[in-house]
Structure 1
């Protein structure tokens, strides 16, 4: 299968205020610090991703990493597995954890999103799955019974 080439990687940061701040043992979280990534391919397809950086202090470093890694992959085939392997080789000494892992995830998700959009199907379908209901839960925090009720 031939893949289009990665033409550009665009990165921006946003800080989305939470309607109700969330208190944890390590402090109060009043906003969601997010890095948004768009990968443009030479066939016109675009993939998008959003990663949560846990703290506003990590926004710029993660965005800078995504931009830097984007330079490494510009002109490469928009093949998620191949790109992930290339980045893993380049980052062997840093390892896949922490901020580098978040940045690689941003690129990986955007590439998979672009692949699914090119085929005009959901990622579930692209990967051979079937969309079906699943049991899940949503963590709503531990801010007390009054807020959670």
Structure 2
């Protein structure tokens, strides 16, 4: 069935986090999300959502999403064609920030609608088979005291998770090390412990703090430096035995290609709303396969469960539960594995009562 775009609607919501997240940048106690619906003339509606980070950002993104809906009214729902139309329309302002996020939401909603039109789960529409993918629990484990971190880490293993992530970037390197050692002692040896600095460190600090983590049972070190300091990451990588991970801030596959060419990363983890939605993700997955580098996800677990199942070098899915209160059927986690929905589409279906409860004026 071919589909024709009628309109795009965007609804801003703010969902309280079950576990507040204290990072080196700011404390997060709520998840500002933008729910995007692609309405077609044929009656099929495609869904996507964005994580806006700030309440104030939701309104700007919503305005651009709905403007795109007006501009693209009557066009066939063909992701490649819609992608080009967004690029043409935004050529003067550039495809970054609000523009790239809106374009990614459009792309994800378009793929969801197409999967529904063909009565296939998204993973099958992408040419792959549904399969469980390893998931690590990324809810909580912020900058808290070592004992509190250890207690929370043990709680995060419920559901059979074999990986957890904690945030680093405390005022001192010794405080970070004490927290890592407390968590590592509290969880079984076979649990992967990822750590994330959220771009908090200078190059000199990164050399010191990351070297201290070598030999401490850390699975990867994420975003120690500013996300686009590829030269700095290359130098850091040469001095460490612990793998480096980043990629959530890649704006499109070209940014990922540049990082891979610079040889500055051991693993990559694109973000669906920044890499370009489903289309951008699949381009990135092809790059990762060509470089034989393992690829994980950042946020959006409901959709990335499908995308990782279609990724040749799939590694870990980052599990967060922020959107769950809004969904009719949240992502299933079974024995630490994320199980892609086998219903038609990406598995996103809004609980309209919950949406109204958490809705805000954007």
Q: TM-score, with normalisation over the residues of structure 1?
A: 0.92
Secondary structure of 1:148's counterpart equals helix
Query: What is aligned with 2:31?
Result: 32
How many residues are matched?
Answer: 148
Structure 2: distance between partners of 1:91 and 1:8: 18
1:46: Cα distance to partner? 0.9
Unaligned segments of structure 2, at least 5 residues: 143-148, 155-362
Secondary structure of 1:112's counterpart equals helix
1:5·1:76 contact (CA, 8 Å) conserved in 2?
A: yes
Secondary structure of 1:89's counterpart equals helix
How do residues 110-129 of structure 1 correspond to structure 2 at under 5 angstroms? 110-129=109-128
1:78: Cα distance to partner? 1.1
1:148: Cα distance to partner? 2.3
**Structure (1 or 2) with the greater strand fraction:** 1
1:65: Cα distance to partner? 1.0
The root-mean-square deviation of aligned C-alpha atoms, in Å, is: 1.5
1:4·1:43 contact (CA, 8 Å) conserved in 2?
A: yes
1:46·1:114 contact (CA, 8 Å) conserved in 2?
A: yes
How do residues 1-149 of structure 1 correspond to structure 2 at under 5 angstroms? 3-143=2-142, 144-149=149-154
Secondary structure of 2:137's counterpart equals coil
1:35: Cα distance to partner? 0.6
Residues 13-34 of structure 1, C-alpha deviation per residue, up to 9 Å, x if partnerless? 0000112211111111011101
Secondary structure of 1:136's counterpart equals strand
Secondary structure of 2:133's counterpart equals coil
1:140·1:148 contact (CA, 8 Å) conserved in 2?
A: no
Larger Rg: 2
Structure 2: distance between partners of 1:27 and 1:109: 28
Structure 1: distance between partners of 2:100 and 2:9: 18
Secondary structure of 2:134's counterpart equals coil
1:105: Cα distance to partner? 0.8
1:90: Cα distance to partner? 1.2
Comparing both chains, which one has the higher relative contact order based on Cα–Cα distances under 8 Å and sequence gaps of 6 or more? 1
Q: TM-score, with normalisation over the residues of structure 2?
A: 0.39
1:47·1:114 contact (CA, 8 Å) conserved in 2?
A: yes
2:10·2:66 contact (CA, 8 Å) conserved in 1?
A: yes
Unaligned segments of structure 1, at least 5 residues: none
Residues 29-59 of structure 1, C-alpha deviation per residue, up to 9 Å, x if partnerless? 0111011111111111110111101111211
Secondary structure of 2:136's counterpart equals coil
